[in-house]
Structure 1
Amino acid sequence: MKIIVDAMGGDNAPAAVVQGALEAHRACGADILLVGRAAEVLRALDGCGEKTLPAGVEIRDAAEVVEIADDPATAFKMKKDSSLTVGLTLLRDGAGDAFVSAGSTGALLAGATLVVRRIKGIRRAALGPSVPVLGGHVTLCDCGANAECTPEYLLQFAFLGSFYAKKVRGIPEPRVALLNIGAEDEKGDTLRHETFALLQEAGRQGRIRFIGNIEANDAVLGGADVVVCDGFAGNVMLKSVEGTARFLMKELKDAFLTNTKTKLAAGLVKDQLAELKRKADPAEVGGTPFLGISKPVIKAHGGSDANAIKNAILRAGEYARSGFIQEIEANIDYMRIKPQPEKI
């Protein structure tokens, strides 16, 4: 297994990216191909205590960097020697099994779509993060790749999320729900009404386990395994969950540090608080796959530290080994649903 890593992508690159890549290499043994400005990558390696390249770690020089201010739609074309463009090209050409980047989401999506390409038959790739909820995680599909969607896109997102939950998360019959402003069938706008009809028909035909509409609060309480939504609504939900988790952890910390009595109480539940913090930390998930791209492309958070990069690389290896992409390729026809008239 070889993971290609964009060494220059993200707010803390290349230092955090290189450190995280080394930690992932030690943890899982996967070969790492660091793509970026070679001199800067070597300095970052030196900062990690590595005077020479460890066995299984390579560097591919790429002189340019896609900056956050660059136009996402054209940045990878204009900067053909960027770490992002070179890395995606290497993935396309079979030089690695997956690509990980903490760089611009828009540029990464555009590059993955036009360089690596979507799976034949997939209309749009979707970001499918695993979001911590009560009792485990929910796959949110989409969470920011497609702000405007059609019912057909959302139907495909439902299938992508369902197959992902089966192949990668190991859920035999994932519950699929449509994010909406109410649980009743008639809730929502035209997009939600038309999507509901398609998902209901898919459920009726036994192709997915559709459980209906779901509100965001019930999704956070573990009411579904896959939540389908357009990228705008999904991103709002994702950021709300992340912000609420940080808010609650800050409030808990302040409450436990109020006085001697609360500090003693904190000592009694220290392990439980550490586990809660770990569950709520996006860095523990690490990265989010672009579901629907023909090879594994993983987006790490722009502010990723070394631990987040390590976990993104581990997720990339897990995703590449899962057989998810092959499953989608084999089931494209299965994912096409045409509503059938009701029998009278």
Structure 2
Amino acid sequence: MSASVIAIDAMGGDHGPHCIVPACLSVLAELPSLQLVLVGQAPLLEEFLACQPGVDRSRLRIEHAGEVIGMDERPAQALRGKPDSSMRRALELVRSGQARACVSAGNTGALMALSRYVLKTLPGIDRPAMVTAVPTERGHCHLLDLGANVDCSAEHLYQFAVMGAVAAEALGIERPKVALLNVGTEDIKGNQQVKLAASLLQRAQGLNYVGYIEGDGLYRGEADVVVCDGFVGNILLKSSEGLASLVSKRLETLFRQSLGARLVGALARPLLRRLQNELAPARHNGASFLGLQGIVVKSHGSAGPEGFQSAIRHALREVREDLPQRLHGRLEHLL
């Protein structure tokens, strides 16, 4: 088996195969070493492929799965009631070694439940955490959890911090600075879970814990890894994406309000387009489920082809870094 085989849940997300099949074909053309397995309803997927002229099937195959997990379906129902879902079959390919990673834009709760059931967590890890890279003034910050775990104990936050630090190291950050997201930087601030997590992190050997950080400090790049529970992390991420979109649209409106503004806009538009591209959610699409005995990447459910391609590239980077094995090696010393 090639080291770069990735299983794709082709039925997941808001757009399903309409978006996922073209995205897969584009990323295959871009990356000659990549192989993909499209998992889903085979007749439908074959129909979509037939509409794409000149498709090279040498690095693409279809694995049939008859069931689809809805975006509003309860995780328990997905776990117990749909053994032949495209999401589950894709994860089982990772477990069996036929693929090195799974990418899905499907139901987040179902993906988390099925990933834990099919792949299991690494020793010492209670719950996987979702992590993604958020743009900052100094580059990027790894933020976790993003919504997989709404209620977290201090021990969970500590485990997230360790996993986030190892993931950042795998991407080339030496001694990443780890911080806890809080309502202030003073020791007296925060709820009980955050204070207890801070106490655990202060005693951790081999972890570069720098204390509390506020939301504005995150975007200034004051830490490389920022840890919070999934409730806070998901709101922060979605709010950030919404604010970036609002600012971009407001600037476009201002540049159209008068002749002078249009002239300034004509000069500024190339820089504005560059900024929009740098901050575009599609470019940063793909959140990893850290802590599993396998690689799972969650794409935005609403992502278009460009965004789904980013999620596949993200999974391929983790395959090349062999992230689960690196996590396993470091967790033995830090947990």
Task: Report Cα offsets for 1:193-222 as digits up to 9, x if no partner.
Answer: 1111111112xx3x1111110111211221
Partner of residue 236, structure 2 = 237
Partners of 1:322 and 1:267 lie apart in 2 by 43
Partners of 2:46 and 2:332 lie apart in 1 by 47
Partners of 2:282 and 2:156 lie apart in 1 by 29
Matched, 1:40 2:44: yes
Task: Report Cα offsets for 1:214-270 as digits up to 9, x if no partner.
Answer: 111211221211101111111111111111111111111111122232222222222
Bigger mean CA offset, 279-288 vs 289-298? 279-288
Partners of 2:115 and 2:258 lie apart in 1 by 52
**Which residue identity lines up with residue 42 of structure 1 in the other structure?**
E
* 8 Å CA contact retained: 2:9, 2:38: yes
Partners of 1:253 and 1:135 lie apart in 2 by 26
Secondary structure, aligned partner of 1:270? helix
**Which residue identity lines up with residue 249 of structure 2 in the other structure?**
K
Secondary structure, aligned partner of 1:248? helix
Task: Flag structure 1 segments of 5+ consecutive residues without an equivalent.
Answer: 337-344
* 8 Å CA contact retained: 1:131, 1:138: yes
Partner of residue 281, structure 1 = 280
Which consecutive segments of 4 or more residues in structure 1 shift more than 6 A? none
Partner of residue 339, structure 1 = none
Secondary structure, aligned partner of 2:183? coil
Secondary structure, aligned partner of 1:269? helix
Partners of 1:258 and 1:76 lie apart in 2 by 54
Partners of 1:42 and 1:259 lie apart in 2 by 52
* 8 Å CA contact retained: 1:6, 1:34: yes
Task: Report % sequence identity.
Answer: 37
> Do the aligned partners of residues 286 and 329 (structure 1) sit closer, same or farther apart at CA in structure 2, a change above 3 Å counting?
same
**Which residue identity lines up with residue 229 of structure 1 in the other structure?**
C
Partner of residue 200, structure 1 = 202
Partners of 1:209 and 1:122 lie apart in 2 by 20
Secondary structure, aligned partner of 2:287? strand
* 8 Å CA contact retained: 2:71, 2:107: yes
* 8 Å CA contact retained: 2:162, 2:331: no
* 8 Å CA contact retained: 1:130, 1:139: yes
Q: Cα offset for 1:190?
A: 0.7
TM alignment of 1:1-344, pairs within 5 A:
1-29=4-32, 30-50=34-54, 54-168=57-171, 170-202=172-204, 205=205, 207-336=206-335
Partners of 1:47 and 1:305 lie apart in 2 by 18
Task: Report Cα offsets for 1:94-148 as digits up to 9, x if no partner.
Answer: 1111100000000000011000111122111000111112221111111111111
Partners of 2:47 and 2:247 lie apart in 1 by 38
* 8 Å CA contact retained: 2:180, 2:198: yes
Partners of 1:48 and 1:268 lie apart in 2 by 39
Partners of 2:96 and 2:36 lie apart in 1 by 16
* 8 Å CA contact retained: 2:39, 2:65: yes
Bigger mean CA offset, 317-326 vs 101-110? 317-326
**Which residue identity lines up with residue 196 of structure 1 in the other structure?**
A
**Which residue identity lines up with residue 312 of structure 2 in the other structure?**
I
* 8 Å CA contact retained: 2:95, 2:119: yes
Q: Cα offset for 1:323?
A: 2.6
* 8 Å CA contact retained: 1:64, 1:82: yes
Secondary structure, aligned partner of 1:227? strand
Q: Cα offset for 1:53?
A: 5.3
Q: How many residues align?
A: 331
Partners of 2:6 and 2:28 lie apart in 1 by 9
* 8 Å CA contact retained: 2:72, 2:107: no
Partners of 1:3 and 1:44 lie apart in 2 by 19
**Which residue identity lines up with residue 150 of structure 2 in the other structure?**
A
Task: Report Cα offsets for 1:141-160 as digits up to 9, x if no partner.
Answer: 11111111111111110010
* 8 Å CA contact retained: 1:76, 1:82: no
The alignment's TM-score, normalised by the length of structure 1, stands at 0.93
